[in-house]
Homo-oligomer: A and B are copies of this chain.
Amino acid sequence: MTRLWNAPADFADEMVEGFARANGRWVRKVYGGVSRSTVAEEPEVAVVIGGGSGHYPAFAGLVGPGLAHGAAMGNLFASPSAHQVESVARASHRGRGVLLSYGNYAGDVLHFTEAQEALRADGIDCRTVAVTDDIFSAGPNEPERRRGIAGDLTVFKIAGAAASLGWDLDGVERVARRANDRTRSMGVAFSGCTMPGAAEPLFSVPEGRMAIGLGIHGEPGLAETEIPTADGLAELFAEHLLADAEVPVAETAGARVVPILNGLGSVKSEELFVVFRRVAELAEERGITLVDPQVGEFCTSFDMAGASLTFLWLDDELEELWAAPADTPAFRTGSFDRGGLLAAEDGGAEAAERAIPAASEESREDARRIAGLLDATRAAIDAHADELGRLDAIAGDGDHGIGMQRGASAAAAEAAGLAARGAGAGTLLAGAGGAWADRAGGTSGALWGVILRTLGSAAGDDDVLTGERVAAGLTEAAEAVMAYGKARVGDKTLVDALVPFAESLAAGVADGQSLSTAWETAAKTATKAAQDTADLLPGMGRARSHGDKSLGVPDPGAVSLALIATTVGGLLARD
């Protein structure tokens, strides 16, 4: 959805005005678009780019030193008129000629060509380079029919760099064409955008499906599939871009490539980084060196959900021009003295493997049993992670299931390793607690870390872990959790289940019950208490999220505690 506008018909004009007001350091508004607000010391060939609006940072965001000199900005998804292109070119011209460059769409070709004729008729030397990077818009035998998408950036950047180095129009045109010849992109889409004021999206892709090669205005794609994994998408991109490479596939090893992983609007940086991880691996496997990777938004379509990958196959000349400094509202590179580069080694404070303190045979035996209990806990959490997530999504941020999974899994793995290395119960519990907290993150991860570490202190590495010791450890753990999390019973947190659990266990043990019997009763108490976190009166619980009006949903932290208590109780009873 596009949601913010005044009158839809004024959107494009008001957008240009707001853009120019925000970016006066780089651009000034001229008739038909924007032109630089700065002049280089020596006159440069003017690189004038442009196209429809709605693709920010294409095109106006790319105007500034080292890149474009002006951008003609049409209405939403509509080419600027010839008169507008001509106006921006005249405003940007410094006597050394004009290179017009734009994505290869029929309307843009018409208008930029007409503008070129008008400029030439007036004695201004003018050339045009239409960008044709989208490999899915036409076959390799008719590259001139291909559309321009995010690969626009490479052509504009190379041309702008050449102009900023003082090259003449012949040189700027030549290298812009070379950049276009060596740039290939491929895009996919998950959903279309809505235009300002429109009630329906411009085009759509069925829920859960992905259109391959769909154009940024909804032009037809090649095929539709299920949405792949992030790795699967990286592989799909790489496969097609390598098959269509300007460089023969057999020669790609050793090649140097600038990758541009572009989000169309609603696919976000985090997702793109996950995809990029696999792109980098694939390049490495093929012996391709990725140079100055770009991951972000470079050519969008409002809030369209989609992504594209562009490869610019470098040669020495292109690499030098790509690396030249540029400074525009949306693209800045290469002019900062960064100081020395550190070696890429992990310089973090992750402790080297610690020595295992000596432990009694009894405590090591307990440790092995606890490792088994932690593994069962991991399995129980895995089995219920989705449920816990859903519970948390109703009143919280939905990540409780994932956090518990990460924590329990890390704790179980750490415990297994420590047990194998002969750790006692205290060391094993402390190590498992640390692993849980680190890996789960968040408040709940920290609290489970506190619980396990406190139990570990109570257990030590020497003595047998009696019922009394376990009960005392749990009582201490409940107190530590309350102190750490600043929560009390009734606050609708894990404390609501932990405190009654510890109290019940201590009472049972004090009564002379076996640990397993006392635990079983305590686990039931914890389960009941967890359920009761849902029964607070409206307003008494923490309203943790929009729309939470005491929904009768139990606190997921308390539920997790009850689940673990019950799981462990079941195993203790079997022993």
Contacts and interface: CB of A to CB of B under 8 A. Distances in A.
Nearest to A382: B9
B485 A110 contact: yes
Given A195-B398, A347-B28, A15 B270 contact: yes
A357 interface: no
Nearest to A400: B78
Nearest to A118: B349
Nearest to A44: B339
A167 B352 CA distance: 34
A348 B88 contact: yes
A16 B276 CA distance: 11
Given A36-B342, A348-B90, A233 B446 contact: no
Interface string A67-100: 0000000111111111110111011000000000
A214 B344 CA distance: 40
Contact of A342 (B39, B77, B486): B39
A3 B220 contact: no
A389 to B, nearest CB: 7
A285 interface: no
A205 to B, nearest CB: 7
A402 to B, nearest CB: 5
A170 interface: no
Contacts of A406: 9, 75
A18 interface: yes
Contact of A335 (B110, B336, B390, B547): B336
Interface string A179-204: 00000000001111001111010111
Q: In the complex, which of the residues A40, A79, A441, A445 has the most CB atoms of chain B within 10 Å of its own CB atom?
A: A441
A412 to B, nearest CB: 14
Given A6-B230, A84-B438, A268 B56 contact: yes
A41 B339 CA distance: 6
B81 A30 contact: no
A340 interface: yes
A548 interface: yes
B546 A214 contact: yes
Interface string A327-355: 10010110111111110111111100000
Contacts of A270: 2, 11, 15, 53-54, 56, 196, 302
Given A31-B350, A268-B302, A406-B75, A274 B36 contact: no
A111 interface: yes
Report, as a range, how many residues of chain A touch the other chain.
35 or more
B30 A346 contact: yes
Given A14-B277, A84-B441, A271 B4 contact: yes
A171 to B, nearest CB: 21
A397 interface: yes
Given A218-B546, A340-B39, A445 B11 contact: no
Contacts of A110: 443, 446, 484-485
Copies of the protein in its oligomer: 2
B83 A35 contact: no
Nearest to A294: B22
Given A6-B230, A274-B14, A348-B88, A402 B21 contact: no
B18 A273 contact: yes
Contact of A349 (B31, B215, B340): B31
B22 A293 contact: yes
Contacts of A151: none
A554 interface: no
B307 A442 contact: no
Given A342-B39, A348-B87, A111 B547 contact: no
Nearest to A231: B6
A105 to B, nearest CB: 9
A332 B336 contact: yes
A278 B295 CA distance: 31
A417 interface: no
A267 to B, nearest CB: 7
A340 B195 CA distance: 38
B15 A220 contact: no
Given A9-B405, A274-B18, A397-B202, A74 B442 contact: yes
A312 interface: no
Given A86-B349, A110-B484, A38 B340 contact: yes
Contacts of A191: 1
Given A110-B443, A335-B335, A339-B39, A546 B205 contact: yes
A446 B342 contact: no
A532 interface: no
Given A22-B276, A81-B445, A204-B547, A271 B349 contact: no
A87 B350 CA distance: 7
Given A86-B349, A192-B546, 12 more contacts: A2-B270, A4-B230, A5-B229, A15-B274, A18-B274, A38-B338, A39-B339, A61-B269, A79-B441, A110-B485, A219-B546, A221-B546
Q: Which 4 A-B pairs have the closest CB atoms?
A: A78-B442, A30-B348, A31-B348, A18-B277
19 contacts: A4-B274, A17-B277, A31-B350, A38-B338, A39-B339, A53-B270, A56-B270, A61-B269, A65-B337, A84-B438, A106-B485, A195-B399, A215-B546, A219-B544, A220-B548, A221-B546, A265-B266, A268-B300, A269-B300
